[in-house]
Amino acid sequence: MIIKKKYKDINDTLRHIKIQIIDGTDYALNKCPQFKDPEELFYWLKNKTRYKSDPKNIELLQTLPTLLKGKFWGYPGGDCDCLTISTITLMIAQNWKNISIVLVGREKTNPVHIYTIIKWKGTRKILDLTNKEYNKERTYPYKQELPVNWEKW
């Protein structure tokens, strides 16, 4: 499924991200490989996708299968929220716990970037597919981590 809408606010976007994660989970369970760790997941997804900004004045949110099949752009691509939807969907299919969404920005109330972290064997691991390498994090003045309590959905 593809959600295309005018950006309202971060809470609205987070609600729709949750919907897209739920809608893509069956595909992740049945069509994607099992991963030994977050680094393997990162590079598998990184090698299959490329970053593409949303269309002007549109908030585009793609499920994992929509992103991987290139249904919107004609190739597997999306922006940071689409890539975050994909990493979380794949993590849930692995039955991994301790997942969080990270919102960062230059102003306290206006996030400009989103990515995923997971506490893996006691260590915080960053999955930001807009970076070339695994476990890399850019610095922003404001950061908020939101637990993804998918077991209670």
Provide the pLDDT for residue 51. 97
Q: Is the pLDDT of residue 23 over 90?
A: yes
Give the structural domain span for 18: 2-152
List of residues 6+ apart from 45 with CB closer than 8 A: 83, 86, 87, 90, 129
pTM: 0.96
Residue 120 in 3-state DSSP? strand
Segment holding 135, helix H or strand E: none
Q: Is the pLDDT of residue 153 over 90?
A: no
Domain count across the chain: 1
Q: What is the CATH number of the domain that holds 144?
A: 3.10.620
Stretch 127-151: mean pLDDT: 97
Query: pLDDT tens across 75-122, in order?
Result: 999 999 999 999 999 999 999 999 999 999 999 888 999 999 999 999
Provide the pLDDT for residue 95. 98
List of residues 6+ apart from 102 with CB closer than 8 A: 114, 115, 116, 117, 126, 143, 144, 145, 146
Give percent above pLDDT 70 in the chain. 100
Mean pLDDT, the chain, rounded, equals 96
pLDDT band at 1; cut points 50, 70, 90? confident
Provide the pLDDT for residue 132. 95
How far apart CA 113 and CA 103 sit, in angstroms, is 6
